[in-house]
Amino acid sequence: MAVLVPLGYLWATSLVPGTYNAADMGYADYGGGPAGGHEHMHHEMNIADLTGPKTGTPDVSVTLVARKEKKGLAGYTLNGSSPGPLIRAESGDLVQVTLINESVPDGATLHWHGIDVPNAEDGVAGVTQDAVPVGGQHVYRFRAKDAGTYWYHSHQVSSDEVKGGLFGPIVIAPKTPGEVLATIHTYDGKRTINGLTGSQRQQLTAGTAARVRVINTDNAILRIGLTGTPYKVVAVDGREVNKPTPTTKAYALAAGGRVDLEAIVPPTGLRFVAGTAALTLGIGPVDPPTAELPAETVDLLTYGTPKAIGFDPAKADRRFEYRIGRRIGFLDGVPGLWWTINGHKFPDVPMFMVAEGDIVRMTISNTSGQAHPMHLHGHHAVVLSRNGVASTGSPWWTDTVEVGNNETYEIAFVADNPGLWMDHCHNLPHASEGLMTHLMYAGYVTPFRIGGTTHNTPE
Ligand code: C2O
Ligand code: CU
């Protein structure tokens, strides 16, 4: 009994309820700010009302049909292919996307990774909508704002559905003659660029400014880069880098992250390399020689030139800690080695509470033994420091930051997009193992629930 009682207790207290409201999860962490926030508010506001424009003719209108079907390496498709079609919009466009679930048995949603859409358009099952069942549909509408490279993916059973193929690229920017898209994904153990293994070609004339938009849709960081000529890192996670300088190093792209690389095409061509010389995209008038990536990587902490960020992190209204650890125990009755946030196991994790307009600082530290690409929905944060060393380069705006083992990142952002937002590891199996929490704006409630009859399972 001496052994059984504590074990039984730990097991029972680890059970995740069959259905629950994400806003009631864990415990509120106010980050040193007031608990209220909305002094003059008389009733709670519903996040389901935080939609994009309800009226107006869309400038970009797309229908995406999701299917469970074997197509090449993929197990799921959007409009018959994986990656799904490129959605292109320009700043200011009203974008409308209709998702039709034809045959994805677990249901599906579309999340606009890196696009800071209104909360009700964020596409997270059980948090901002119900998963779209087979035979159902859902319409997303939002105004495209910040030009850049993004991607969309299902946020229902995402650890399985994204891996299997329910994702695609979305670019907010006019198409230029030098644009090259490189969506990287591993299907069934085979890494691909735009769905294809091996080496590919894109014909561009010498002298063209090639802009390679790279998207890492996998669960792990990947070293990428251009060989054959120096290049500039011109944008990170859909935000321009200030005064980038030419480099010949590689670039480490976090899972879920994007980067835009720019170079003038030399007469001998250049080559985009994804990981190794076995997976490349030759760009130029001729096929350039193959080459491996150099060992050194660009460090965004010192890359580019500083510039005003538009707010003062020294005047933070809230300061949060997001401490990632690992501990032996039970999660939902299953024994194992589980992730912890601030020493707590899912679902007993902190929910970071903010009020609209707050300046927020967050220190993300990691002693869990593995790296974690941390993704905050609905906001871009600026990196203030890494391991105590302040950023001295261009403002490093990010929505997905790789926090290595024994690393600490301090980030800051303005709470300017009300709602209930996920804040999780984008190694999606880690998220499904409990490395997941929320940023919650005071005064809001969600009508959606995880589990239950809707079978909402965001991770
Ligand atoms: Cu790319 Cu929570 O998502
Ligand atoms: Cu992780």
Question: What domain count does the chain have?
Answer: 3
Domain residues for the domain of 191 are 179-283
What pLDDT, on a 0 to 100 scale, did the predictor assign at position 25?
Answer: 79
- Inside any domain, residue 293: no
pLDDT at 19 (0 to 100):
82
Question: Residue 235 domain-assigned?
Answer: yes
Together in a domain, 209 and 231: yes
* CA 90 from centroid of its chain's CA atoms: 21
Quick one: which ligand is closest to 432's CA?
2
Residue nearest ligand 1's atom 3 by CA = 113
Mark whether 442 and 327 lie in a shared domain.
yes
| Single residue among 266, 283, 300 that ends a domain in this structure | 283
pLDDT at 132: 98
Q: What single DSSP character describes residue 81?
A: B
Q: Whose C-alpha lies nearest to ligand 1, atom 1?
A: 113
- Between strands 45-46 and 444-445, the pairing is parallel
Pairing of the two strands 408-414 and 167-172: unpaired
Strand ranges (DSSP E) for 154-198? 167-172, 179-187, 190-193
Instruction: Verify that 321 and 430 share a domain, yes or no.
Output: yes
Residues 186 and 238 in one domain: yes
The conformation of residue 265, written as its DSSP 8-state character, comes to: P
Residues 138 and 212 in one domain: no
The pLDDT assigned to 23 comes to 81
In a domain, 316, yes or no: yes
Give distance in angstroms: CA of 179 to centre of ligand 1: 25
Q: Is 155 in the pocket of ligand 1 (CB under 6 A)?
A: yes
Based on the domain organization, do 271 and 379 belong to the same domain? no
Q: Which of 112, 158, 168, 159 is nearest to 131 (CA)?
A: 158
Q: Check if 430 has its Cβ closer than 6 Å to any atom of ligand 1.
A: no
Q: Give the distance from CA 3 to its chain's centroid.
A: 42
Distance, CA of 401 to CA of 16 (rounded, Å):
28
Q: Give the pLDDT of residue 170.
A: 98
Nearest atom (ligand 1) to Cα of 422: 2
pLDDT in tens, 57-80: 999 999 999 999 999 999 999 999
Query: Mean pLDDT in the chain?
Result: 94
DSSP letters, 194-228, are TTB-SEEEEE--TT-EEEEEEEE-SSS-EEEEEES
Of the three residues 145, 172, 199, the one that is the final residue of a domain is 172
Is there a domain that residue 391 lies in?
A: yes
* 160 shares a domain with 88: yes
Residue 290 lies in a domain: no
Any atom of ligand 1 within 6 Å of the Cβ of 256: yes
**Do 440 and 313 reside in the same domain of the chain?**
yes
Using CA atoms, how far apart are residues 383 and 386, in angstroms rounded to an integer?
Answer: 8
Structure tokens at 14: 């680890």
For the Cβ of 455 lying below 6 angstroms from any atom of ligand 1, the answer is no
Residues 160 and 211 in one domain: no
Q: Which protein residues have their CB within 5 A of the ion that is ligand 2?
A: 372, 425, 427, 430
- Nearest-5° angle of CA 342, CA 345, CA 349? 60
C-alpha to C-alpha distance for 215 and 237, rounded to whole angstroms:
9
Ligand 2 mean position to 92 CA, how many Å?
Answer: 34
CA 346 to chain centre: 20
pLDDT at position 9, please? 66
Question: How far is the C-alpha of 46 from the C-alpha of 375, rounded, in Å?
Answer: 24
Predicted structure pTM score: 0.95
Q: Could you list the mean pLDDT of each consecutive 10-residue stretch along the chain, which spans 459 residues?
A: 58 73 88 73 84 98 98 97 98 98 98 98 97 98 98 97 98 97 97 97 98 98 98 98 98 98 98 97 95 96 98 98 93 87 93 97 98 98 98 98 98 98 97 94 93 88
> Are both 84 and 164 inside the same structural domain?
yes
Domain assignment present for 226: yes
Q: Looking at residue 69, what is its pLDDT?
A: 98
C-beta 223 within 6 A of ligand 1: no
Reported as half-sphere exposure (CB side, CA atoms, 13 A), residue 179 has a value of 13
CATH classification of the domain holding 98: 2.60.40.420
Q: Are residues 109 and 234 in the same domain?
A: no
Q: Please report the pLDDT score of residue 1 as a whole number.
A: 47
Is residue 118 included in any domain, yes or no?
A: yes
Spatial separation of the C-alpha atoms in residues 262 and 56, rounded to whole Å: 36
> Is residue 406 included in any domain, yes or no?
yes
State whether 438 and 328 are in the same domain: yes
| Tokens (6 digits) for 60 | 């970009």
Q: What is the pairing mode between strands 350-354 and 27-29?
A: parallel
CA distance 16 to 433: 12
What distance in angstroms lies between residue 124's CA and the mean position of ligand 2's atoms?
Answer: 19
Q: From the CB of 258, is ligand 1 less than 6 Å away?
A: no
SS3 labels along 294-314:
CCCECCCCCCCCCCCCCCCHH
Task: For residue 124, give the ligand 1 atom closest to its CA.
Answer: 2
What pLDDT is stored for residue 336 in this prediction? 86
Q: What's the CA gap between 455 and 450, in Å, rounded?
A: 7
The residue whose C-alpha atom lies closest to atom 2 belonging to ligand 1 is 422
